[in-house]
């Protein structure tokens, strides 16, 4: 494999490593399946795949505790799977069926789970950032020691409301981690074409928010950075920024002419920096698992994903009455 | 086991495409993620990746084939060492999407009809240009691009700004070729910063330029709505007539296909509410072109509402140099005597379809396309209602505070004595847009609902 500098001695147990491997692989296989179902016309509209970025959410989930919150954009399937939402419920939402997490009414971009403290699933670029600060506001108000992971993209990092949220989060010491998933492109716009200064982790300096840049293709580096940020927030020191450098292998959504980057660029990332191959190597070279063990894991995950796709196909469309429900909460 | 590789759907609105190029040949081994073919849709050329690994057993659709329907088998994938099955019947068909729930039969029907039920002779739309004018078929997409290009050639102060308008050629390919022709000084890619660049556009207009600001869709213009309303629409008035704001805000508006609640909203009534804005919502390609040219020349802020589903539709566009369409003049698409149907934008597609269905049932509908919502051509609507005595309005937006509500009020005030029935407003349903295919269909306005409304106002 590649010219990656392997994290010398991973500071985690074999079980943890295996768990990250499984979690990342589940996201990858799930997304591949979603892409396939889209091509067959079973999924419609927009469908933003997370392939390539798996280590970001899996690493940060490893740093989270029960009760911590998360909120993200439309590129949300990975976040939902990583925080334990049912693959079948996610897939059935993608197909617009009653068994979906939003009864088929939300779609790929809009899913939520009170139980898993997942607050969506937002389609307007940047809008989730003040929302995440607001979740943290509620936690601080209730003094419950919780932290909110607020994910957004490099493109979203240019929206004005992000900086309004930064200021208030710092002013009021809100326990929020602003996670910038810098996958280097916002649709067809390479990051350098849209930002006056590319170092997004420094964007909080003017507000007094600490930030750091993290290798998002290395789940252990992400986890370590996440733990540091969580500690900072839980200690009541206010917000923290993590700029996590990652890469999306697929198009922005399904209809992406992909003329803004070369095939070689994508291929090089896949071959040299793949976050799943990285953990796979650690597992094998550290003798924590054999090729056969990994094959079994792969098979099991494929079965989970296949079952989710079966469920998503078989679950019926929502009954027509659903058109008129959930517009207002009962008084 | 052999599997058929099916023509993929690569965008929310794709139904067919051209298989532009095969990048693999029979006998090649493919891995998941390998690029197998290039497929062209009306929006873009896209690469099609393999999902499963295997060997290309047979290519069923040759490269260069156009109009290949989504889900047509285009190749057969076999396992290493396996023979290609003789007939494609021997393969596993990847299942088709579940059929939508059967729809209830449309209301109305043949009962209790009074008067004529014999089908009427087909009515042809009369084009709004002089007889004998040569025309060419153009999509709305091409017409919009031509309008911008012509105006940019004519006036060096006109420039285009927005997300992905330049290098990407437009998220919906409306600005295709403009960067090449006009360069990056005049075709400007912005960051995702709607409130900021809308404000910069307004400031540039104050400063003497003529910006065209593209919103990737009007859903995102909500980020910028303060600059549009408080800065662009009101400054001329607040400055006692000194400081005008010649700017066009344009982009797709309304529902596309299954993009959910935050990406599917019709803002026609929102902007039409605002004094100081002009609001345009074309249906046909010729109107898109002529009205956009007028919008760019107008000394006021203009909201120009396009529609993603209409972008790919073709219409006759007159071959007239510098073809413009004035604001505030509705177009009568077909004349009729029994009822006046008033619509605009994509609502016109449902309305014209309804008029055809009504003609089959012996009901003659006059169809009016408002084209601009501010100024609004109420004269044409009133004149028509004076003739037909009945009116149904059709639009995609929410029912409360709709354009139809406004037309009803105008008719009540100015044509009350001519009305033989209450005006009915056909609108989208009073719910956020659902994602599920069956629910979305029910949330949107249909021609059958228009037909049912007409039956009601004509007491048939
Ligand atoms: C306010 C707003 N503007 C534009 C869009 C259209 N849009 C959707 S995603 C996207 C790119 C966002 O890029 P980034 O923040 O880097 O996230 P990524 O897609 O890379 O995860 C754009 C322009 C939108 N949804 N909302
Ligand atoms: Mg990005």
Inter-CA distances, A7 with A15, A52, A218, Å: 17, 19, 8
Whether A210 and A241 have beta carbons less than 8 Å apart is answered as: yes
Show the domains of chain B with their CATH numbers.
3-84 (2.40.50.100), 106-128+328-457 (3.40.50.920), 138-315 (3.40.50.970)
What kind of fold does domain A18-310 have according to CATH? Rossmann fold (3.40.50)
Nearest CB among B47, B164, B219 relative to A189 is that of: B164
Domain residue spans in chain A? 18-310
Residue of A190, A247, A186, A177 lying closest to A216 (CA atoms) = A247
Q: Say whether pLDDT at A208 is over 70.
A: yes
| pTM of this structure | 0.90
Note whether B163 contacts A189, CB cutoff 8 Å: yes
More confident call, A3 vs A101: A101
Residue of B214, B205, B110 lying closest to B162 (CA atoms) = B214
B214 lines ligand 1 (CB under 6 A): no
The confidence score (pLDDT) of residue B109 equals 34
- The Å distance, Cα A258 to ligand 2 centre, comes to 14
Which residues 157-196 on chain A approach chain B with CB closer than 8 angstroms? 158-160, 186-189, 193-195
Token pair 């100081």 in the structure block, residue: B276
Q: Is B409 on the interface with A (CB under 8 A)?
A: no
Strands B73-78 and B54-59: antiparallel
How crowded is residue B229: how many other Cβ atoms within 10 Å of its Cβ?
A: 17
Instruction: Give the confidence band of B98 by pLDDT, cuts at 50, 70, 90.
Output: very low
Instruction: Quote the CA–CA distance of B433 and B440 in Å, as a whole number.
Output: 6
- The Å distance, Cα A205 to ligand 1 centre, comes to 24
Nearest CB among B47, B98, B193 relative to A158 is that of: B193
Tokens of B40: 């062209």
pLDDT in tens, B312-340: 999 999 999 999 999 999 999 999 999 99
Residue B457 — left, alpha, or beta (φ > 0 → left; ψ -120 to 50 → alpha)?
alpha
Residue of B106, B118, B117, B182 lying closest to B150 (CA atoms) = B182
Give catalytic status of residue B194 as yes or no. yes
Q: Say whether pLDDT at A61 is over 50.
A: yes
Burial, B203: exposed, middle or buried (Cβ in 10 Å; 0-12, 13-18, 19+)?
middle
The confidence score (pLDDT) of residue B92 equals 45
* Best residue of B96, B191, B197, B309 to probe chain A, by most A CBs closer than 10 Å: B191
pLDDT in tens, A230-264: 999 999 999 999 999 999 999 999 888 889 999 99
- How long is chain A? 331
Instruction: Give the confidence band of B164 by pLDDT, cuts at 50, 70, 90.
Output: very high
Instruction: Quote the CA–CA distance of A302 and A82 in Å, as a whole number.
Output: 16
- As a whole number, the mean pLDDT across chain A is 95
Q: Say whether pLDDT at A214 is over 90.
A: yes
| A–B interface: beta-carbon pairs under 8 A | 186
The confidence score (pLDDT) of residue B102 equals 33
A99 lines ligand 1 (CB under 6 A): no
Instruction: Quote the CA–CA distance of A312 and B108 in Å, as a whole number.
Output: 36
């Amino acid at each position: 494999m590649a010219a990656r500098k392997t994290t010398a001695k991973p500071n985690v147990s074999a079980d943890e490593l295996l768990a990250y491997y499984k979690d990342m692989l589940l996201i990858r296989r799930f997304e591949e399946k979603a892409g396939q179902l889209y091509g067959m016309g079973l999924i419609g509209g927009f469908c933003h795949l997370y392939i390539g970025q798996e280590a970001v959410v899996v690493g940060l989930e490893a740093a989270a505790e029960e009760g911590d919150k998360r909120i993200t954009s439309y590129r949300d399937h990975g976040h939902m799977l990583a925080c334990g939402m049912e693959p079948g419920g996610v897939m059935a939402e993608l197909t617009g069926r009653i068994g979906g997490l939003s009864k088929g009414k939300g779609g790929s971009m809009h899913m939520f789970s009170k139980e898993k403290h997942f607050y969506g699933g937002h389609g307007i670029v940047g809008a989730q950032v003040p929302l995440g600060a607001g979740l943290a506001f509620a936690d601080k108000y209730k003094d419950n020691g919780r932290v909110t992971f607020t994910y957004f993209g490099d493109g979203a990092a240019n929206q004005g409301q992000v900086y309004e949220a930064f200021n208030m989060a710092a002013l009021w010491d809100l326990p929020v981690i602003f996670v910038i998933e810098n996958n280097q492109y916002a649709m067809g716009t390479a990051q350098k074409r849209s930002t006056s200064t590319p170092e997004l982790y420094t964007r909080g300096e003017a507000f007094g928010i600490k930030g750091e840049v993290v290798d998002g293709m290395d789940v252990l580096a992400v986890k370590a950075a996440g733990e540091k940020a969580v500690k900072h927030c839980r200690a009541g020191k206010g917000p923290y920024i993590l700029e996590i450098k990652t890469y999306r292998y697929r198009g922005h959504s399904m209809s992406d002419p992909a003329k803004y980057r070369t095939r070689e660029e994508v291929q090089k990332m896949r071959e040299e920096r793949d976050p799943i191959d990285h953990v796979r190597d650690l597992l094998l070279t550290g003798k924590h698992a054999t090729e056969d063990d990994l094959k079994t894991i792969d098979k099991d995950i494929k079965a989970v994903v296949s079952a989710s796709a079966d469920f998503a196909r078989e679950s019926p469309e929502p009954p027509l009455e659903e058109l008129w429900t959930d517009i207002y909460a009962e008084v | 086991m052999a599997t058929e590789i099916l023509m993929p759907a690569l965008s929310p609105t794709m139904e067919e495409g051209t298989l532009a190029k095969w990048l693999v040949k029979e006998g090649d081994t493919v891995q998941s993620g390998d690029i197998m073919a290039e497929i062209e849709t009306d929006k873009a050329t896209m690469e099609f990746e393999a999902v499963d690994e295997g060997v290309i057993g047979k290519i069923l659709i040759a490269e260069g084939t156009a109009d290949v329907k989504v889900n047509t088998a285009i190749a057969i994938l076999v396992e290493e060492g396996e023979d290609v099955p003789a007939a494609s019947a021997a393969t596993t068909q990847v299942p088709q999407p579940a059929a939508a729930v059967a729809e209830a039969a449309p209301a109305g029907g043949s009962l209790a009809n009074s008067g004529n039920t014999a089908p009427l002779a087909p009515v042809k739309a009369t084009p709004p240009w002089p007889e004998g004018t040569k025309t060419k078929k153009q999509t709305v997409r091409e017409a919009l691009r031509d309008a911008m290009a012509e105006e940019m050639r004519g006036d060096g102060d006109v420039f285009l700004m927005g997300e992905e308008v330049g290098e990407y050629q437009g998220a919906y390919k409306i600005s295709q070729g403009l960067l090449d022709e006009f360069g990056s000084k005049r075709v400007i890619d912005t960051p995702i910063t709607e409130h900021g660049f809308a404000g910069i556009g307004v400031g540039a207009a104050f400063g003497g330029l003529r910006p065209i600001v593209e919103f990737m869709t009007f859903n995102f213009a909500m980020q910028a709505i303060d600059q549009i309303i408080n800065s662009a629409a009101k400054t001329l008035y607040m400055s006692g007539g000194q400081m005008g704001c010649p700017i066009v805000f344009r982009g797709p508006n309304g529902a596309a296909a299954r993009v959910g609640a935050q990406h599917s909203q019709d803002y026609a009534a929102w902007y039409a509410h605002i004094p100081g804005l002009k609001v345009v919502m074309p249906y046909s390609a010729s109107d898109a072109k002529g009205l956009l040219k007028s919008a760019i020349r107008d000394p006021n802020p203009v909201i120009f509402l396009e529609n993603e589903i209409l972008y790919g539709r073709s219409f006759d566009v007159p071959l007239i140099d510098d073809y413009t369409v004035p604001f505030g003049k509705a177009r009568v698409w077909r004349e009729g005597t029994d009822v006046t149907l008033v619509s605009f934008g994509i609502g016109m597609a449902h309305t014209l379809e309804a008029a055809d269905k009504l003609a089959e049932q012996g009901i003659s509908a006059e169809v009016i396309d408002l084209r601009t919502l501010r100024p609004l051509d109420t004269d044409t609507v009133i004149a028509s209602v004076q003739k037909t005595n009945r009116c149904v309005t059709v639009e995609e937006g929410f029912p409360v505070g709709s354009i139809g509500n406004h037309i009803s009020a105008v008719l009540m005030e100015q044509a009350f004595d001519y009305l033989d029935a209450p005006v009915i407003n056909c609108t989208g349903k009073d719910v956020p847009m659902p994602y599920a295919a069956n629910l979305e269909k029910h949330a949107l306005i249909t021609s059958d609902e228009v037909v049912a409304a007409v039956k009601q106002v004509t007491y048939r």
